[in-house]
Amino acid sequence: MSETPPVPDTRNTAPPAPRRRVNRRDQILRTAAEVFATQGFHNTSLADIAAMLDITPAGVLHHFGSKTGLLTAVLELRDDTEPAPEGGPMLDHLVTTAERNSERPGTTQLYAVLSAESATENHPAQDWFRDRYTILRRDIEGAVLDRLDPEHRGAAGAPGPDGRSAAGAAAAAVIAVMDGLQVQWLLDPEAVDMAEVTGLVIDALVARLSQEG
Amino acid sequence: MSETPPVPDTRNTAPPAPRRRVNRRDQILRTAAEVFATQGFHNTSLADIAAMLDITPAGVLHHFGSKTGLLTAVLELRDDTEPAPEGGPMLDHLVTTAERNSERPGTTQLYAVLSAESATENHPAQDWFRDRYTILRRDIEGAVLDRLDPEHRGAAGAPGPDGRSAAGAAAAAVIAVMDGLQVQWLLDPEAVDMAEVTGLVIDALVARLSQEG
DNA sequence: GTCTATAGATTGATAGAC
DNA sequence: GTCTATCAATCTATAGAC
């Protein structure tokens, strides 16, 4: 998963090559992520990516087999600098993430645009995002329960007749807020503060689940 | 704005033609809305739409001038059966809307997919969605304030140093939740109940704004 | 008002050179 | 391992027939 492949030992005293680009594949990956983010997947051509690297579209395809293969590789390339904590602190981490997202429009746009685009027929990233949401909901549901007083934990965690718990609904809500805010923010950065609103919703939901239903 | 053009007076006693398709333009509009919803805008070709109507792509273009013109016309075609109420009841109406959206995946998908896609460079629907969000935030902010006790209304409505009020943050949150839930629901309809979660968030936010900050 | 024929550019991908 | 030449399919849009 590391982005840092082994560097050949040149055993010279010359200053180390300034973080030389390792191989073409990684270079293409970064460029593709950037262009998919700003243009979406379907609206991006292999020629767009190839042009930025001064090669032909087929040069790109060589490394990934198909345009879909390239997309899959881009999605796998998560740049989580810090690992997400477990349990209650995870909710604070989400606010921090929202704050960080405000400072990296590229990555924010990549996932905001692609997640919605994946909800179209036969989109190659559909399974990837469906699985991602399933895992996120489960983890955040746990984090919400962790934040509640033990006395409320039972009711909030108990699945209803539809198999979904109140904490699960809150988890879906938190993810949805973060996603929805990204679109609003990308269209109009001055209009919303993603971190502030995310924090507000988390606080409100935790407080709500700490009351009698 | 009406979708019902004047019908020629035939003055006969024959049963009225059973809501006959009025003109080709409307027919194309409906078809385009359907295909844009399931495939997104950029991934839809004029040929896709034309094929469903058994005409050539140019036949489609005749009525709208360009593919972008067609998209604009589709967005203008809102199918709001019931008008949205003003003030506090608007929040209940949003829950009803979420419920109704669960029963019309096509329309839901249209706006969910296109709104995120519009956040890409030079997308023709960008202004349309930016304006739509601005208006929605303002209206829902008003609805939230309307729901609060008069004693809390001042604090929640007062703009902070960034020009945004707590009620405005709540409004952005409500819209974001509804949007984000749509993507999760489109990818996995069993996993979330859009109306339930929307209601939960609205209740939680209103309760939160009714407390001391 | 409605549409087809056709153009001109661009697409993703294969085959094969180095 | 890296890439170019090339292809067949598909794209939007113009020009003009009916």
Low-confidence ranges of chain A (pLDDT < 70): 1-22, 79-81, 212-213
Q: Which two tokens stand for residue B10?
A: 């035939």
| Nearest CB to A175 within list B178, B180, B205 | B180
Nucleotide nearest to B61 (CA to C1'): D13
Q: How far is CA A152 from CA A87, A165, A209, B203, in A?
A: 16, 12, 7, 18
Comparing alpha-carbon positions, the chain B residue that sits nearest to A203 is B208
> What are the pLDDT digits (tens) for A34-63?
999 999 999 999 999 999 999 999 999 999
Residue A62 CB lies within 7 Å of the nucleic strand D: yes
Residue B115 with chain A: CB contacts under 8 Å: 116, 183
Residue B56 CB lies within 7 Å of the nucleic strand D: yes
Residue A200 with chain B: CB contacts under 8 Å: 166, 169-170, 173, 205, 208
CA of residue A26 to C1' of nucleotide C12, angstroms: 21
Residue A21: its pLDDT value, please? 53
* Maximum Cα interatomic distance, chain A, rounded to a whole number of Å: 70
CA of residue B125 to C1' of nucleotide D15, angstroms: 29
Residue B22: its pLDDT value, please? 64
Residue B147 with chain A: CB contacts under 8 Å: none
Residue A9: its pLDDT value, please? 44
Residue A45 CB lies within 7 Å of the nucleic strand D: no
Nucleotides of C under 7 A from a protein CB: 1-6, 10-16
> What are the pLDDT digits (tens) for A84-95?
899 999 999 999
Q: Computed over its alpha carbons, how large is the radius of gyration of chain B?
A: 21
- Report the Cα A147 to chain-centroid distance in Å: 23
Residue B176 with chain A: CB contacts under 8 Å: 176-181, 183-184, 197
Ordered structural domains, chain A, with CATH = 24-76 (1.10.10.60), 89-209 (no CATH)
A178·B180 Cβ contact <8 A: yes
Q: How far is CA A211 from CA B3, B18, B77, B198, in A?
A: 48, 55, 43, 18
Q: What are the per-10-residue average pLDDT scores of chain B (213 residues)?
A: 42 47 88 96 97 97 96 87 88 98 95 97 97 98 98 96 97 99 98 98 98 72
CA of residue A79 to C1' of nucleotide D1, angstroms: 26
DSSP A13-78: SSPPPTT----HHHHHHHHHHHHHHHH-STT--HHHHHHHHTS-HHHHHHHHSSHHHHHHHHHH--
